[in-house]
Amino acid sequence: MKEIINLPVKNVEEEEYHINMGPQHPSTHGVLRLVVSLQGEIVKSLKPHCGYIHRGIEKMCEKDTYPQIIHLTDRMDYLSAHINNHAVCMLVEKALEVEVPERVTYIRTIIDELNRIASHQLWWCSFGMDMGGLTCFFYGLRDREKILDIFEESFGSRLLHSYYTPGGLMMDIHPDFQKNVKAFIKYFRKKIKDYDDLLTGNIIMQLRTKGVGILTKEDAISYGVTGPSGRASGFACDVRKHHPYGVYDKTEFKEILGTKGDTFERYMMRMHEMLESMKIIEQLIDNIPAGDYKAKMKAVIKLPAGEYFQRVEAARGELGVYVVSDGNKSPYRMKFRSPNFSNLSVLDHISRGCKIADLVAIGGSLDYVIPDIDR
Amino acid sequence: MNFSIYDFTSFNQWIDKFLFDNLPAFWAIVVEMTIIGLVVLLFYALVGLFLVYAERKVCAFMQNRVGPNRVGPYGFFQTIADLFKLLMKELVYIKNADRLLFNIAPFIVIIASFMAIAAIPFAKGLHAIDFDIGILYVIAVSSLGVVGILLAGWSSNNKYSLIGAMRSGAQIVSYELSVGLSLITIIILAGTMQFSAIVEGQANGWFIFKGHIPAFIAFIVFLISSTAETNRGPFDLAEAESELTAGFHTEYSGIKFAFFFLAEYMNMFIVASIAATVFWGGWMPFHVGGWAGFNHIMDFIPPLVWYFGKTFFIIWIMMWIKWTFPRLRIDQLLTLEWKYLLPINLVNILIMAFIVLMGWHF
């Protein structure tokens, strides 16, 4: 009896408990596992556990040739597959000092931007679904389908394209490409208003996102949060603007910066970015120069010994590719600086003290793609 | 026998008389109860299945999809096929779950909604029981369902279920107030709690038109709070699938899951029927005071058509809301109730009482 009385009295109010969100959970968008410490409904801290879809892409790259590596980069951030390919292609071209035809840079830029729109559309779908509005999912996918159709027509695949090769493209674009892209832009400019009607202007959505999960500019810089998530905090990190590649220096577009850094701002960044991407495409689509779609390359690509780095603006942030070459046809070491990994690292910091529902909204606004985190 | 689709009273009395003439009183009552039970049960299952189908079609059309279209004409038998699938599925038992409570929970939920349906008047003379405290009974019985949800969340031994159940408990207890108070507004106008008397009272105009603005406000409040009470639409926090996987019924499978599912749809039907009965005249045709010819034409449309038309229209509104809005957060949900709906309701009751007192209503 005495022992029972002397048991330490736990304050139930302050007791934390843990739940596993994932690896199988609807809001983690893949096999991410978040161990969340909760006090009632309030998130005290969380630990992301990565590695459920780790395939060792960086290690696999070490025994693959450069054209083969392109196919692996598709599988990292599968929603911006073209942009990932672009990074590796540009790295090889820079190392070999190959001059790519102008037609190629134009087409690559247009397709990168189409890919960015498609990626943001899918983000919008899943963000709507995270917020509990299931209808968003179908509206977004309906429009994404149009872009995938354009991709399919030109180079046969819809998700993992591997369209770029070092020095150019796999094949030339379809004769209808320009016509279809213009038709899509016209279509999507109308449809994006639906997005605003359905979700952006919704009072419930605004209440749930404004002032939630605030990421300051300092934190964004120190955690390395790039892409729309970083720009929402006012961190000017658009690689397209500051280290232009492709033909971005010839086009006019705004780098939109937020001020508040909350979930709503991150949401609005992507909505604005879709409009900006359409603007870029509109400037380029009529001016694709004639010419060859591929530069002359050697049959076996060997990079001269040394270190190379190339970065691009992927749909979710800055993707860096770092290669150490010893002069062979495959890299000695390869490292990807994936945007999602850095973006995920901030999740614990900004979601402390908010509710479970907020955690889901913040996760949706950071827009992580799990295969890119684990690689 | 005198049967008409406009008045079921004589039909019911004929059956009653036939049974009592041919059987001893005790057995006549037993047979009557069995018949009523079976009819309500059948009706319950059919409406439930139809609503599941209707929701799938409505949500499909709102989402640019076709919806079920393979089983039967327009996929009409899809839900029946689904029911058989659920019936044949294995019931998974969880380790360390409270077996008794775990098994009882779905039955409590379904019994609560099953009992509520008994008091609803579908047409003149077509209701299982006509209380003089009908509205009070329905409110009391339908809020029993929360016990089942809490038990399900507690006994599942799953943290997601528990969070879902606690949310649901807070939600239903809060919104129960608004449902009750918005109905009281109309009770003041009608002067009775008996469903049949409420419907008869709307013979020369539905309460939503008779009661000026307070009745309309009460209807809006009732629609919002009843959506919350049935755990639907933007208020489906108890089963928020993107946060809690499936909330309180995460661990249920097979027919037990189907019970929760069916109960959700039947609660929606009950809530819509109460809204239709109390605000929109139930089975009473659309009448305009003084227009005898027009009223006569409206009387030709059978009451069942009026009743189901109104009910399904309100159900459609609830589905529309559900498939358009994102979900609220738990603190916003409670803020909405305690800071907005409840004060609005209380003021509304005062205004309604004043209007009735002064005789300003139509």
Got the DSSP string for B69-95? -SSSGGGTTHHHHHHHHHHHS-----T
| Per-residue model confidence (pLDDT) at position A6 | 60
Q: Which residues in B lie closer than 8 A to residue A356 (C-beta atoms)?
A: 163, 243-244
User: Pick from B271, B111, B274, B64: which is nearest to B187 by CA?
Assistant: B274
The helix or strand, by DSSP H or E, that contains position B359, with its residue range, turns out to be none
> Least CA distance to A212: which residue of chain B?
B329
Tokens linked to B219: 């209807």
Tokens linked to A174: 């379809």
B160 at A interface, C-beta within 8 A: yes
Report the alpha-carbon distance of residue A89 to residue A41 in Å, rounded.
47
Q: HSE-up of B66 (CA within 13 Å, CB side)?
A: 6
Most A CBs within 10 Å: which of B243, B250, B328, B336, as the mutation test of the A interface? B243
Q: What is the mean pLDDT of residues B87-102?
A: 82
| Per-residue model confidence (pLDDT) at position A32 | 85
Report the alpha-carbon distance of residue A45 to residue A325 in Å, rounded.
41
> Given strand A317-325, what is the order of strands in its sheet?
A306-314, A317-325, A333-337
Residues A292 and A101 sit within 8 Å (Cβ to Cβ): yes
B41 — pLDDT class (breaks 50, 70, 90):
confident
Global pTM value: 0.84
Ranges of chain A whose pLDDT falls below 50: 1
| Per-residue model confidence (pLDDT) at position A4 | 54
Task: Look at A134 and B63 and tell me if their CB atoms are within 8 Å.
Answer: yes
| Per-residue model confidence (pLDDT) at position A10 | 59
Q: Which long-range contacts (CB under 8 A, 24 or more apart) does B303-306 make?
A: B303/B5, B303/B6, B303/B122, B303/B123, B303/B124, B304/B5, B304/B122, B304/B123, B304/B126, B306/B281, B306/B282
What are the tens digits of pLDDT across the range A260-301? 888 898 898 888 888 888 888 888 888 888 888 888 888 888
Residues B180 and B139 sit within 8 Å (Cβ to Cβ): yes
B185 pLDDT above the threshold of 60: yes
**Which residues 59-78 on chain B approach chain A with CB closer than 8 angstroms?**
59, 62-65
Q: Report residue A140 CA to chain centroid gap.
A: 16
Q: Which residues in A lie closer than 8 A to residue B330 (C-beta atoms)?
A: 41, 355, 357
Range with the poorest average pLDDT among A70-74, A94-98, B51-55, B355-359:
B355-359
| Per-residue model confidence (pLDDT) at position A12 | 56
What are the tens digits of pLDDT across the range B309-339? 889 999 998 888 888 888 888 888 888 888 9
Residues B302 and B123 sit within 8 Å (Cβ to Cβ): yes
B133 — pLDDT class (breaks 50, 70, 90):
confident
Q: Report residue B140 CA to chain centroid gap.
A: 13
Tell the residue number behind the tokens 């329905």, with chain if given: B138
Residues B278 and B207 sit within 8 Å (Cβ to Cβ): yes
Q: Which residues in A lie closer than 8 A to residue B243 (C-beta atoms)?
A: 27, 356-357, 360
B194 pLDDT above the threshold of 60: yes
B39 pLDDT above the threshold of 60: yes
Tokens linked to B267: 């609660």
Biggest CA-to-CA distance, chain A: 91
Mean pLDDT (chain A, rounded): 86
Beta carbons within 10 angstroms of residue B87's beta carbon = 10
| Per-residue model confidence (pLDDT) at position A165 | 87
Tell the residue number behind the tokens 């087409």, with chain if given: A107
Tokens linked to B40: 């309500």
B212 — pLDDT class (breaks 50, 70, 90):
confident
B1 pLDDT above the threshold of 60: no
Residues A214 and A350 sit within 8 Å (Cβ to Cβ): yes
Report the alpha-carbon distance of residue B305 to residue A141 in Å, rounded.
39
Burial class (CB in 10 A: 0-12, 13-18, 19+), A306: exposed
Task: Look at B332 and A208 and tell me if their CB atoms are within 8 Å.
Answer: yes
Of B63, B236, B331, the CB nearest to A135: B63
- To 5 degrees, how large is the angle CA B121–CA B123–CA B129? 35
Q: Which residues in A lie closer than 8 A to residue B240 (C-beta atoms)?
A: 132, 357
User: Pick from B154, B228, B157, B220: which is nearest to B185 by CA?
Assistant: B220
Q: HSE-up of B3 (CA within 13 Å, CB side)?
A: 5
Mean pLDDT (chain B, rounded): 83
Tokens linked to B259: 């019970």
B327 at A interface, C-beta within 8 A: yes
Q: Which domains does chain A have, with CATH numbers?
A: 3-374 (1.10.645.10)
Residues A244 and A280 sit within 8 Å (Cβ to Cβ): no
Q: Report residue B241 CA to chain centroid gap.
A: 23
Most B CBs within 10 Å: which of A17, A204, A205, A351, as the mutation test of the B interface? A204
Share of chain B above pLDDT 70, in %: 98
| Per-residue model confidence (pLDDT) at position B177 | 86
| Per-residue model confidence (pLDDT) at position A21 | 83
The helix or strand, by DSSP H or E, that contains position A181, with its residue range, turns out to be helix A177-195
A35 at B interface, C-beta within 8 A: no
A29 at B interface, C-beta within 8 A: no
B2 — pLDDT class (breaks 50, 70, 90):
low
| Per-residue model confidence (pLDDT) at position A27 | 73
| Per-residue model confidence (pLDDT) at position B291 | 74
